[in-house]
Structure 1
Amino acid sequence: MTTPPFRADIVGSFLRPDGLKTARRLHAEGDLDAAGLRIAEDAAIADLVAKEAEAGLRPATDGEFRRSWWHFDFFGFLDGVDIVELDHGIQFQGVQTKPRGVEISAPIRFDPSHPFIEHFTHLRDLLARTTGATPKFSIPAPTVLDFRLEPGHILSSVYDGRDAIVDDLVQAYRDAIAAFYTAGARYLQLDDTAWAYLCSETELAKARERGIETEGIAERYADILNRVLDGKPDDLVVTTHVCRGNFRSTWISSGGYEPVAEQLLDVVQYDGYFLEYDSDRAGGFEPLRFLPKGDKTVVLGLVTTKNGERENPDDIKRRIDEAAAFAPLEQLALSPQCGFASTEEGNVLSEDEQWAKIRSVVDIAADVWG
């Protein structure tokens, strides 16, 4: 496959190297200025993209090395969106994140000076000078912001409730996609936990407690996303990663994709879908029957990032064959199930184990698709 998503692909984040962790700690403590932190980030990213190429990957990301969170860092630089401290974090299996959340305090807008644009252009220029890989950049989907809003966290003088933010949220994302495209991006990914949570009765109950109307929510989210994607340039590939929770090797959501598969795979006009299939919590491959024949691709997340144990390549190939019973093999690809560090804390495995998994993805994809 010569255009993204590639037969061997990646979700986005990588384990932060020790030198970068130290620099971020020193910066937080006031012992390293912003310029010093930037130097450390640039060096770590340069080393990362060299390793991505060495592993045989055609896409390359910056590992999300400039972020603390996969989502809050982007949301916090949107006009009108504040990151605030809550009395609780996001509950994973046996552990909570830091107690952070989003609050809408003014009209939602995307400012072209958003730092993620510069983060992308740095990656673009670095790859042009070095490996020539295709730059891939990930941002959280707008549905995540909607799904994570807590009661009382929309300023009533700005918006009259949750539904009232939708038009501005859609426009902000259309403006963001246009800004990335102008900067040279041709491969973007909208990371999305909401769809996975819609497959879980437990998470749907929690959503209702947050004041979300869950009846018809898949259709509502499909409409929001299609409005965001409407009119995107033909040479811009936009995919999504449906995440079941990824924090210190723990997870949140269980349940197969059946409740949302038709809306997600057929109705939403993404070019590709990175779906987690590394455990039985994801159910079977039957929902892939909703993938329309054509140019859309499902990237099977069969190699886990939760631990360092190597998967048996023959087992992965067998599961690809099983998936191909429901979607054409030529519309499938392979990746790790998620990033290796959706937050700066990272998952519980070593860097050597991380790269062994990436090389395995590349080798298996070559065996299956050539």
Structure 2
Amino acid sequence: MKLKFTFLGLFFFVLFQANDFFKSVQSKSVKNASSLVIFYRPDCPYCMKLNNEIENNADLSKQIKTKFNVSAIDITTAEGRQIAAFYGVDKVPTIIKYDNKNEQFENIVGFQKSGALRKLLFHKNSSQKALKNLNTASICGDGIVESPEACDDGNMANGDGCSNMCTVESGWSCSGTTSICTPIAVCGNGIVESGEACDDGNMSNGDGCNNTCKLEIAVCGNGIVESGEACDDGNMSNGDGCNNTCTVQSGWSCTGSPSVCSNTLSVGEVSNQGVFNINVAPNPVTDKLHIQFFLSNKSNAEIVILDVSGKKVFQTKNNNLIVGSNDLEIVLKDKLFPGIYLLKMKFSNDKVVTKKIMIK
């Protein structure tokens, strides 16, 4: 796999939540060590087998823990799916090995027994052999129905028939390799389904949608998606995805009746931005501040704290941040007065992340 070596920070809190997968090989960051990023999904049987294969082999676990900084990514989360898309990962389990010294990426795809895994991890030029082993499960949201998915409509949205776990939602039916989902039509259930022009959740006449789910009159803002309307969220406000002419605003998607609207952001747009999220804790802080994030490539970071007047009151630099999970600790006890401050992190690619913190 080829990646452009631009320093690009990918930050998200989910990486630092406790999980039971690959726990035996995760530890605090080791400076200058190479990195492993393990992509999995909790319901993937091959991921479970790989986890057990590593956990039950103490020597292998110790060897991995000693040589690598390990990050485990759950691809059923929105953040995990975005990171997987950035790396081009479409099957799990997949291990991405990053050689810190030579700045090279290698893929290990599918379940591997401990002997084969040791060879692939600790011997050069072995990763291509692993590509033939496809003991894998699919990534939900890639538009291909694969085991153990019941559907896959190419997104991670709920409410459109195929859930963000690639299961068929109640009241829907889905078919096709790239799933097309349609509601099971029941007039009066509040869902506009195949064959219905409207459905306001009742069987009354005279309220715009009659008792056969036919339109009586189109009215924008009544919470019913009627003929000529792309959406209707039950109000006449702009800025919430469905505007006051019942058209979908740019950068939004709307489903259902009444319409539920959400921001849309493609993987490409996320990658260009470079930052998903960053976790600063505790906040408020009294003693030590932890800054947790994930990097896709090596980087340096300059951390500056400004007071409310914009005056620089604290500065530190962190060099050679690793590929994968990072946790920086800043001791602030007795260094700053209580109050509100601005924390700014500048990375090697000139990307700047800003967070508001409070000192108690």
TM-score where L is the length of structure 2: 0.23
* Bigger radius of gyration among the two: 2
TM-score where L is the length of structure 1: 0.23
Q: Greater RCO between the two (CA within 8 Å, min separation 6)?
A: 1
More helix by share: 1
More strand by share: 2
